[in-house]
Amino acid sequence: KKIKKMILSSADGLDISVRTIGVGVFSAAIMARDLFNAKNFNNYAVIRFTSSNIVEVLYVDDGLLMLYTKLKISKNKVLSMQAIGDRKLESYIISIVERMANNKYRSSKIEKIFIYESNSRGKFVNNLIERKSSNLVFLDLFDFNQNNENSTISIRKKMENLSFADLGQIFGGVNV
């Protein structure tokens, strides 16, 4: 809140307006919606691996944010740390993240799951990239052909690129 207040007061002095400020998973959700066409799906989730054991998830259904949850992975079990929204959805999201953590993820009823990591170099995302599940989309700004089997981007490079998803706010409204 303090940073937001400072940005807004700075903008006032420059005679510009700031319409929105997005941070972290919320900013990545803008990127998923506007650049990766998440807005075209009935439902989708954005999953952010913030460290080797902390995960943030946004779940959107019919264009409405239904759930934000922060989860902790401990010994391949997933525990809720914070949740805002539908608790029944949280249980379902926890089961999905548990399957990811245990390297058993195949698919889910969620049309698309947009995944990225901000700070970690965790094994979970690496394992998911190797699996190539049809409903997983990695928020790699530099590889829009990621579902193409001929993609030449290495897993290591893809993992480096995923950290840019936190900057998704700057892509809001951009026509690509």
Question: How do residues 141-162 score in pLDDT, each as one tens digit?
Answer: 776 555 444 455 565 666 666 6
**pLDDT of res. 142:** 73
Report the predicted TM-score, pTM, of the whole model to 2 decimal places: 0.77
Q: Has residue 100 got a pLDDT over 50?
A: yes
Mean pLDDT of the chain: 77
Determine what percent of the chain is predicted with pLDDT higher than 90: 26
d(CA 3, CA 153): 36
Scan for tokens 């420059």, then name that residue. Answer: 14
In the chain, which ranges are continuous DSSP H helix?
2-13, 24-34, 87-101, 123-131, 155-162
Q: Are 172 and 18 in contact (CB under 8 A)?
A: no
Q: How many angstroms separate the Cα of 165 from the Cα of each of 26, 85, 119, 137, 139?
A: 10, 23, 11, 12, 6
Q: What is the mean pLDDT of residues 113-128?
A: 74
